[in-house]
């Protein structure tokens, strides 16, 4: 469960001061899929950064699995994040000079997982995104879709319970984007990973359990767009 209470976030000082988030209250149950939607500059990425402890608000509470993460020291937040959370951010480019294998290894090295355990976990994550054959390839030689799959492998390798994705399909052609989308929802449905996605894509947003509409830093509405189940589908 992720709970946000009374979140206010400003950037800059004095005349430059800009309020990016205004009185945000939000609850995300475990295993939910959540879309954060809104215009460019509305505060979606800021909201995601605050939720995950990457950025600190000026006021409010961020409680993740019972832990108020704003009460933790920086190192403890980093540890908390590396144990529980995975990130797929457009800005988190893969290391081009390194192999796929080594890119996926990084979060495990940060989390101080022993070398012996790492190999199996890395190969599992690469397998999950169908990139086993590219394990030794340098990341810069991969296509856009493959790089994004690699970013997913890296995000899931430490088995996070929450996955944050900031416009994960934004730079991809629609077929490749759909493949990435399937991967994310499979992880959500099969492994119960809580999925929080910032997206412009209406179809993607409508597949989520919860849609948070944000405008000028404030939540405008929270919808639960349950799609009708397909005929013959299990309930
Ligand atoms: N580090 C920063 N310093 C100053 N302003 C920022 C910073 N990050 C974001 N902003 C501003 O806060 C607002 C929200 O940004 P952001 O959360 O990135 O929006 P979105 O992801 O919805 O496009 C924008 O007006 C942006 O210019
Ligand atoms: Mg953004």
Domain contains 71: yes
**pTM as predicted:** 0.91
Residue 137 lies in a domain: no
**pLDDT score recorded for residue 41:** 95
pLDDT tens-place values along the chain, 235 residues long: 999 999 999 999 999 999 999 999 999 999 999 999 999 999 999 999 999 999 999 999 999 999 999 999 999 999 999 899 999 977 567 899 999 999 999 999 988 899 999 999 999 999 999 999 999 999 999 998 899 899 999 999 999 999 999 998 887 888 888 888 999 999 999 999 999 999 988 888 999 999 999 999 999 999 987 655 555 544 4
Distance CA 195, CA 113 (A): 24
Specify if 173 maps to a domain. yes
Among candidate residues 1, 3, 38, 34, the one with its CA nearest the CA of residue 20: 38
pLDDT for the residue 200: 83
Query: pLDDT at position 142, please?
Result: 93
Range of the domain at 31: 2-91+144-223
Order the strands of the 67-68 sheet from edge to edge.
18-28, 2-11, 59-64, 67-68
Give the Å distance between the CA of 46 and the centre of ligand 1.
6
Residues in the chain: 235
Q: Indicate whether residue 105 lines ligand 1 (CB < 6 A).
A: no
Pocket test of ligand 1: the residue of 10, 11, 90 to mutate, having most ligand atoms within 8 Å of its CB, is 11
Helix axes 115-128, 100-110, angle to 10 degrees: 130
Looking at the domain assignment, is residue 24 inside a domain? yes
As for how many domains the chain has, the answer is: 1
């Amino acid at each position: 469960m992720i709970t946000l209470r009374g979140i206010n976030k400003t950037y800059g000082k004095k005349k430059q001061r800009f309020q990016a988030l205004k009185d945000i209250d939000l609850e995300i149950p475990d295993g939910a899929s959540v879309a954060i939607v809104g215009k460019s500059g509305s505060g979606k990425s800021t909201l995601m950064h605050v939720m995950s402890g990457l950025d600190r608000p000026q006021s409010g509470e961020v409680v993740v699995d019972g832990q108020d993460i704003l009460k933790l020291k920086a190192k403890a937040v980093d540890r908390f994040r590396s144990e529980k959370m995975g990130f797929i951010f457009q800005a988190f480019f893969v290391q081009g000079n390194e192999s796929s294998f080594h890119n996926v290894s990084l979060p495990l090295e940060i989390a101080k997982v022993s070398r012996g355990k790492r190999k199996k976990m890395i190969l599992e994550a690469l397998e999950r995104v169908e990139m086993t054959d590219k394990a030794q390839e340098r990341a810069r030689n991969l296509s856009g879709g493959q790089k994004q799959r690699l970013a997913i492998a890296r995000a899931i390798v430490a088995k996070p319970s929450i996955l944050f994705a900031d416009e994960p399909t934004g730079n991809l052609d629609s077929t490749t984007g759909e493949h990435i989308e399937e991967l994310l929802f499979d992880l959500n449905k099969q492994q119960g990973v809580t999925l929080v996605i910032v997206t412009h894509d209406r179809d993607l947003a409508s597949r989520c359990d919860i849609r948070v509409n944000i405008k000028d830093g404030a939540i405008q509405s929270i919808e639960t767009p349950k799609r009708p189940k397909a005929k013959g589908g299990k309930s």
